[in-house]
Amino acid sequence: MKSFDAIVIGAGQAGPFLAARMVEKGMKVALIERKFLGGTCVNAGCMPTKTLVASARAAHVARNGAVYGVNLSGEIAIDMKVVRGRAETVTMNARNGLIGWFAGMDGMTVIFGHARFEDPKTVSVNGETLTAPRIFLNVGARPVIPDLPGVNDIDYLTSTSIIHLDRLPRHLAVIGGSYIGLEFAQMYRRFGAEVSIIEHGPKLASREDEDISDAIADVLRSEGIDIHTGASDIAFARSRDGITVATDSARIDASHVLIATGRKPNTDDLGLDAAGVIADKHGYITVDDSLATNVDGIWALGDCNGQGAFTHTSYNDFEIAAANLLDGDDRKVSSRILAYALYIDPPLGRVGMTEKQARASGRKIMISTRPMSRVGRANERGETKGFMKVIADAETKKILGAAILGIEGDEVIHGIIDAMNAGTTYPALQWSVPIHPTVSELIPTLLGDLKPV
């Protein structure tokens, strides 16, 4: 049996950085990864997908160049092998960077293999047994495939496999109208494929307010994407030319099908029972406000704990664990103000409560909206789709939440994120003097238009 000061299972966006901090403190650490360093973000998520989004945007801008007085002769052609190769290069550069970083650390042992608990202080991997007083789980999540008629009879794609496509689908059917599905839908439409979105629920991006959801649908429809919401009785069958997707109200002749109906944690084969670690009915490991599990000496970080499904929340889990365990701090998950983005074009930046949540909270609230068509920078760039929205507490004057669907919305939202984390009241933020011409310069104006509801 090999002994360590700590064992980290999973090399996503929390575990490796925590392992590095512990090594800096002179600890002996084992980092176990069953496949690739970097987790979902580096290998099948943010980095490759946003690289693909950039390629798709380049194609979109080229096709619309005449609007800006830039005339290109001939049809815009997409070389999917180059598109795929560029995304793979970005992934490999990041993955190899991690390999080089860890190789230079004394005290770090990287092991590739599938780890399972033998008891609360012991794990087995590749026929070896390792023990440590502290064990951290950062095992991430994977796409979930719903039990729909015919789904096992077709060659479907997931968010993991679709990034390796090196040829353009004739017609891509996207099953699921949430964030992952919407990004791939617009991306492949811009590459030149016919695209249909099939969503069981009544609207796209169901987490968002109805006005945001409707605006997202308008953006996608304006680019020629076919949207079917409220779809039931979804079934699949092989056809002569590809795959038939049937619903209660539509029949789609697709060449490819992307299943984007959610993700589930990679906790079902860790031997949690042997360690006594409790998980909920969905497989998410139960943690307290410091990310500790019910078993002393075991923590769960990142997507597998159900406290956030984003790279930045996973990294913040590392920050919380490191601050509490190594720096004598007392940081809590409950102090985190959730923010995220949807990377369609234009993007959606979101932070805090939705309007629906704010109304349900019983607070006296104020709301302000402003269309992007009234933002100078958006008009100059010819990108006026979407709108800004902010919700505030009428009594405390604190900002409760905001949504910016529009040009650079994923960046502009950070001014509000920072204000909310600093506890700044909206009247104070109104007196900032932002740079002109930017999208952010309209934030004080947006706040100045807050009205009670």
Between CA 16 and CA 8 the distance in angstroms is 8
The residues, any chain, with a CB within 8 Å of residue 65's CB and separated by 6 or more, are 71, 72
CB atoms within 10 A of CB 217: 20
Comparing CA positions, the residue from 220, 181, 186 lying closest to residue 201 is 181
The one catalytic residue in 171, 256, 312, 436 is 436
At 23 the three-state DSSP class reads: helix
The reply to whether 228 belongs to the active site is: no
Q: Which residues contact 177 (CB under 8 A, 6 or more apart)?
A: 197, 198, 199, 201, 203, 204, 205, 206, 227, 229
Q: 321 and 299 in contact (C-beta within 8 Å)?
A: yes
> What span, in angstroms and rounded, lies between the C-alpha atoms of 279 and 286?
5
- Which tokens in the block code for residue 312? 């930045």
- Specify which residues 8 forms β-bridges with: 31, 136
Distances (CA, A) of 3 to 102, 250, 300: 19, 59, 20
* 238 alpha carbon, distance to own chain's centre: 31
- DSSP class of residue 344 equals S
> In 3D, which of 287, 260, 257, 288 has the Cα closest to residue 272?
287
> For the chain, what is the radius of gyration of the CA atoms?
24
Q: Residue 423 pairs with which residues in a beta bridge?
A: none
Contact 260, 384 (CB under 8 A): no
* CA 253 – CA 274 distance, rounded (Å): 48
Residue type, 77: A
Q: CB burial class (10 A; 0-12, 13-18, 19+) of residue 390?
A: buried
Burial of 420 (C-beta count, 10 Å sphere; 0-12/13-18/19+): buried
What distance in Å separates the CA atoms of residue 136 and residue 346, rounded to the nearest whole number?
38
Q: Which residues are catalytic?
A: 436
